[in-house]
Structure 1
């Protein structure tokens, strides 16, 4: 039987989501916990992969096993077994063909920036000491919605077949004591959000105009865009699926 598992994690201690040789990852820890409690080898497939140090407030994965009689009890036992920086929220019985990665049609990330050094945000946000023009940054961000090829913001030597992404929302907002950039798309390239944020911060600091974003995108050249900001300020916050795949398999 197939299950979706909803969970969250604080990424500081992990080399991203996906299993790697000689490096601890969230996938490895979650698979070990499920395999131990279900007493069989469990492999999980995530909704996507996050890079080293990136956090997830909402993440999904799927796995196959025999019918779980008490899902709430397994969630409780998983949370007792897992380290404090990974938490499971819920298990969903799924139709057999449901796929955590391929069925996800929209993903949302946030990036947090703080204007002054703070011990409380040391592992949670990126400190930028220079004044930022939010209006100009949002003008530049709006151009992202007019384009679909984002090779200029992609990590080099990646194995993707296409650099096309449908960016549906991109906005900077002041929220309490931090500045938050929210971006939503059907998919993201490796390092894409961090490269976009670095470029938009250059706009905010007056190093380039909002209109220069269009030329950077057209160049398809990563070296034309800004530097990637640190992973610690990046959060996967939402993954959306069609409602019909959540029909329970009785």
Structure 2
């Protein structure tokens, strides 16, 4: 028996799905991907993703690993068109990459980046793809607060409780708001992220933008390590996973 491990790179609009990970009584991206790949590759395929995006969250760059037994590599690498033919239009397979036998889509990732989109006027073309916010925001103050994230490592205050992580430490290397046509995009990059972390950070930064809390308050929230101190999680529709990096992929 010859077992070989591969990565598959995909992108998806999460509006119609209950997140990435397979769940009972809910349609997920992983379920549809595994089903399409199993059909095309003619053997059971069980993927393991680089993370768990929640219901309604999108991904422009997402990786999962899977194993195949006694499969001809050339046919595997050329199976993208067939897989895409069976996937709904909201999910796109980009490429399949041979990797070493111990490669792990989740644990081997050295960097991840998310973007969060906000728009300020009703726009039917941004429905489920950006968060409509009618409040005026102080973007300068939000960027000053975002920059403070780079000074900390323990982000317990922005994490869902009762998660199965061994540590709430993350190394944030970029956090910045940029103004775009009719709205804002917030980009944040780190070595890892906690469950719900980006949406909780965004909810707290919006409080800065509304002048509800100060920069000193923001630092006190982080130092409290208490989720109830931070702002509410913002809507899932504006969140995109945009980059995942591995030391052996270029």
Task: Tell me whether the two structures share a fold, i.e. TM-score over 0.5.
Answer: yes
- When normalised by structure 2's length, the TM-score is 0.95
Tell me the secondary structure at the aligned position of residue 69 of structure 1.
helix
2 CA distance for matches of 1:67 and 1:6? Answer: 19
Which is further off, 7-16 or 94-103? 94-103
Whole-Å separation in 2 of the counterparts to 1:84 and 1:45:
21
Deviations 1:157-185 (A, max 9, x none): 22221111111100000122320000001
Residue in structure 2 matching 1:10, options 9, 13, 22: 13
Aligned to 1:222: 227
In structure 2, what is the Cα distance between the partners aligned to 1:43 and 1:161? 25
Distance (whole Å) between structure 1 residues aligned to residue 241 and residue 177 of structure 2: 16
Structure-to-structure mapping, 1:57-96, within 5 angstroms:
57-65=60-68, 66-71=71-76, 73-96=78-101
Answer yes or no: is 1:99 the counterpart of 2:104. yes
Which residue of structure 1 aligns with residue 115 of structure 2? 110
Q: Please tell me the root mean square deviation across aligned C-alpha atoms, in Å.
A: 1.2
Partner of 1:33: helix, strand, or coil? Answer: helix
Q: Assess if the C-alpha contact under 8 Å between 2:207 and 2:213 holds in 1.
A: yes
- Range with bigger deviation, 192-201 or 152-161: 152-161
Note if 1:32 corresponds to 2:39.
no
- Listed one character per residue, the Cα deviations across residues 82-111 of structure 1 (whole Å, up to 9, x for unaligned) are 001100111111121211111110000000
Q: In the aligned structure 1, how far is the partner of 2:57 from the partner of 2:118?
A: 14
Whole-angstrom distance in 2 between the partners of 1:72 and 1:218:
48
Picking from 159, 170, 175, the partner of 1:154 is: 159
Give the secondary-structure state (helix, strand or coil) at the position aligned to 1:107: strand
Partner Cα distance (1:25, 1:104) in 2:
22
Query: In the TM superposition, what is the alpha-carbon distance from 1:18 to its structure 2 partner?
Result: 1.1
Matches of 1:38 and 1:72, distance apart in 2: 10
Q: Tell me if 1:51 matches 2:54.
A: yes
Name the SS for the 2:78 alignment partner. Answer: helix
**Residue in structure 2 matching 1:208, options 207, 213, 216:** 213
1:233 and 2:238 matched: yes
TM-score, normalised with respect to structure 1: 0.95
